[in-house]
Amino acid sequence: MNTVRLTKRRIPRIILVAVLVVFCTLPVKAQFAVIDPANLAQGIVNSVKQIVEMSTTAKNVVSNFKETVKIYEQSKEFYDALKSVNNLVKDAKKVQKTVLLVGEISEIYVTNFQKIIDDRNFTEQEIIAIGNGYAILMNESTDLLAEVKDIITANGLSMSDSERMDIIDKVYTRVKSHRDLVSYYTKKTISVSFIRAQKKGDTQRVLELYGSVNEKYW
């Protein structure tokens, strides 16, 4: 991407940092107070990458899923705190929404994959393949979020406000598309179980496992 020289012009306002600065001033648990705002996005990327790493082998996909849930629950505190930040300027609001979308992708995975593991309509090999599919989708989303982190740190100093906002808009749109894809992937996976359940006369059990239309997250 093209950058804009700073010579003979004011330094662009890095207002994207606002979402991170405000977040770190919230009256939440003590560990949040010492977080470097510039590294918040990277910290969230790392937590999701840990989830991805725990979901890429046969052993980890099923046997260690409880550890994956722990990682998600720890990172969820950051997302929940970030949701409570209000009155942000346009740029920072879009950063906030982008980060929260990645959290939503993790939530779709963790919430539904536990049910898929408990669903006897899937074989162990199928569950492993499903888990690996989620890992690929989540990894792509965190790579996109890393682009946001780059432009709110040193790499973004040479950009104008307009250039920065353009990148944020594009990343947000792509992450939202990934969120929708993860939701679709989950829906299609669960539909396979419903079809198999119908053939075996076991539909009610599957409905109870995944929830009604009003209860389902996916």
pTM for the full predicted model: 0.75
C-alpha of 201 from chain center: 36
CA distance 161 to 170: 14
Is 134:185 a contact under the CB 8 Å cutoff? yes
**Mean pLDDT value across residues 64-82:** 81
CA distance 127 to 113: 9
Is 151:171 a contact under the CB 8 Å cutoff? no
CA distance 67 to 69: 5
Cα→Cα distances 117→16, 59, 128, 193, Å: 40, 13, 9, 12
Listed in sequence order, the DSSP H helices in 84-160 are: 90-117, 124-151
Of 56, 202, 40, the closest CA to residue 137 belongs to: 56
Is the per-residue pLDDT at 67 higher than 80?
A: yes
Is the per-residue pLDDT at 202 higher than 80?
A: yes
On the CB side of 125, how many CA atoms lie within 13 Å of its CA?
A: 0
Domain ranges of the chain: 36-83+91-210
**Amino acid at position 22, single letter:** V
**Amino acid at position 20, single letter:** L
Of 133, 117, 145, the closest CA to residue 46 belongs to: 145
Is the per-residue pLDDT at 198 higher than 90?
A: yes
pLDDT number for residue 177: 94
Q: Round the CA-based radius of gyration of the chain to a whole number and report it.
A: 20
Query: Tell me: the pLDDT tens digits for 113-133?
Result: 999 999 999 998 899 889 889
Q: Which has the higher per-residue pLDDT, 201 or 11? A: 201
